[in-house]
Chains A and B, each alone.
Chain A
Amino acid sequence: MKILEYLSTLDRRIIYLVLAIVVILPLIFPSIQRVRVMDPVGKLFAAIDAIPDEQILMLDFDYDPQTQPELEPMAVALLRHAFNRRIKVAVLSLYVQPLGLAKKALDQVAEEFNSQAKIRADSIVYGQDYVFLGWQPPPIVPLLGMGISIAEVYPRDYYGLRTDSLPMMHKVRNFNDVGIIVCVSGGNAPIWWVAYSQTRFGVAVGAGITSVYASELYQYFQSGQFSGLMIGMKGAAEYEETVASSLRVSGRRKATEALGSLNAAHLTIIIFIIIGNISFVARRRK
């Protein structure tokens, strides 16, 4: 009974310490966790894989430092998929804060491919294979404006180059030339793409979101408004797994590496809740 009394008044610092240990240890000693690819991620992969040559993949990277660990692996896996399949990519952000992280992901994956390129044709070239459109406020301008003309909304790209001068953009005028827009975001942005761009122009939309936001956005996947969905760290790991196994793309898989921590943290919280309830029931009986 003393143990139950002790547990009912457990110092929160002990909980913090236990959680810190179970999260940090699997990161120091990572083990590869195999994941089963679920339907939402499988459908997103298939939708991107089916983009025809004349259309591009549009990526809206709207994640900030707070959600970076969960969402950046999604961005990296999406770019690896597109570059491997030679799907042309246009990247943008609806907000200013994610711009730095979007550029970081683009630079990282372009460098990965270019460092492995044996001949010039294998290289990923800016302006030919991908463009970084940057940011145009307010969000409603790109959400609706790109349905008419992408170059009008983004006259210049992130680096200040004229958008219509980039070879990749010569044949890309508006949403008719976009196979799918995938929004990686920790907020409401995926809903906006559905509410504004898809409703008015019929463009396909997919999303990569944080776990805490999953319950909010599932309805859009079930109704078919999202062609596919990646949810949280596990969703990112599933996409990494699909890209690695289907396309034989190598490279660090940060979400897969973090799954050990995710396992341990979830299990620890479940155990804490069970212990809390046992002590609660014991106290009530007393």
Chain B
Amino acid sequence: MKRTLPLILVFIFGIMGIVPYYIPHGGYQTLDNMVRNDFLRILSAFAIVLGLGSLMKVHIDKIKKHRENWPYSYVLIIGFVVSGFIGLFGGIEGNGMLPTSIASFKFDIETLYLNIIVPLGSTMFALLAFFMASASYRAFRVRSLESALLLSAAFIVMLGVIPLGDRISPHLPTFAQWIMDIPNVASKRGITFGIALGGLATSLKVILGIERSWLGGKE
């Protein structure tokens, strides 16, 4: 029963997800809407609680057993507790029960977000440009005809997407656009079809109970 019940549920709800695309009947659409708007939201709320619980368990375990980089787990736990506390009691824009501010620091999630998450996130992503420049200098080598073609296409697109490209030649952005429109789309569409067909086959295998690895344990 422990394995059969999840399989039955996946079959029923998997089919229920497909059918509304083919049966526009009002009654069925209402049922579909109810399952999605009510059931799914409750399920996702449980998933958030489970996810956060699991995250905490992993990091508390890491600290206890002094696993690699364990001091960073303290940062995560402290960040979680502080932001959770301020979020619950300070509100989004200081409309909670905590004092609205001490000195210039406001106790609300928006202040934390704009002053901590935004600069940290931007900094991390900005570093990527430096690594890309260094990596392209060391690794982008013309070793064959294919790599020469790839490099030429990269140069045309890189110049075509900046205003300087238009000044060098007005045909450059048009050519860059053509590379994106035709050769790029041709290859990407082939990959997308492959992924979609693979996804379809895997989904059918899961719905029909042929693929059961998601249940965990042995087959």
Contacts and interface: CB of A to CB of B under 8 A. Distances in A.
B27 to A, nearest CB: 13
Nearest to B143: A280
B4 interface: no
B173 interface: yes
Given A137-B44, A266-B158, A269-B133, A218 B33 contact: no
B113 interface: yes
Interface in A227-255: 231-232, 234, 237
A263 to B, nearest CB: 5
Contact of A265 (B36, B110, B129): B129
Interface string A25-57: 000000001111011000000000000000000
Interface string A3-24: 0000000101001100110010
B118 A65 contact: yes
Given A36-B166, A218-B180, A276 B185 contact: no
Given A100-B114, A262-B162, A269 B132 contact: yes
Majority secondary structure of chain A interface residues (helix, strand, loop or mixed)? helix
A259 B166 CA distance: 13
B55 to A, nearest CB: 15
B44 A138 contact: yes
A67 interface: yes
B192 interface: yes
A214 to B, nearest CB: 7
A149 B180 CA distance: 37
Given A68-B122, A215-B180, A222-B185, A16 B136 contact: no
Contacts, number: 146
A273 B122 contact: no
Given A141-B36, A214-B180, A219-B188, A273 B121 contact: no
Nearest to B186: A219
A148 B192 contact: no
B138 interface: yes
Contacts of A64: 121
Contact of A65 (B44, B110, B121, B188): B121
B122 A269 contact: no
B151 interface: yes
B50 interface: no
A71 B169 CA distance: 27
Interface centre among B124, B158, B170 (most CB of A within 10 A): B158
B101 interface: no
B123 to A, nearest CB: 9
Contacts of B138: 276
A94 B188 CA distance: 25
Nearest to B112: A100
A50 to B, nearest CB: 23
Contacts of B109: 100
B197 interface: no
Count class of interface residues, chain A: 35 or more
Given A66-B122, A104-B114, A137-B44, A259 B36 contact: no
Contact of A16 (B113, B134, B166, B188): B134
A148 B181 CA distance: 35
A136 B129 CA distance: 33
Nearest to B44: A138
B129 A19 contact: yes
Nearest to A281: B142
A237 to B, nearest CB: 8
Contacts of B205: none
A268 B185 CA distance: 28
Interface string B163-178: 1101000100100010
Interface of A: 10, 12, 15-16, 19-20, 23, 33-36, 38-39, 64-69, 97, 100-101, 103-104, 136-138, 140-141, 144-145, 148-149, 152-153, 199-200, 211, 214-216, 218-219, 222, 231-232, 234, 237, 259, 262-263, 265-270, 272-273, 275-277, 280-281
Interface of B: 20-21, 29, 33, 36-37, 40-41, 44-45, 48, 109-110, 113-114, 117-122, 124-125, 129-130, 132-134, 136-138, 140-142, 151, 155, 158-159, 161-164, 166, 170, 173, 177, 180-181, 184-185, 188-189, 192
Given A15-B137, A19-B129, 12 more contacts: A65-B117, A65-B119, A65-B122, A68-B122, A97-B117, A137-B41, A141-B37, A231-B161, A266-B159, A272-B136, A273-B136, A273-B140
Task: Give the 10 A-B residue pairs with the shortest CB-CB distance, closest first.
Answer: A65-B121, A66-B125, A272-B137, A65-B118, A100-B113, A33-B163, A12-B134, A138-B44, A263-B164, A276-B137
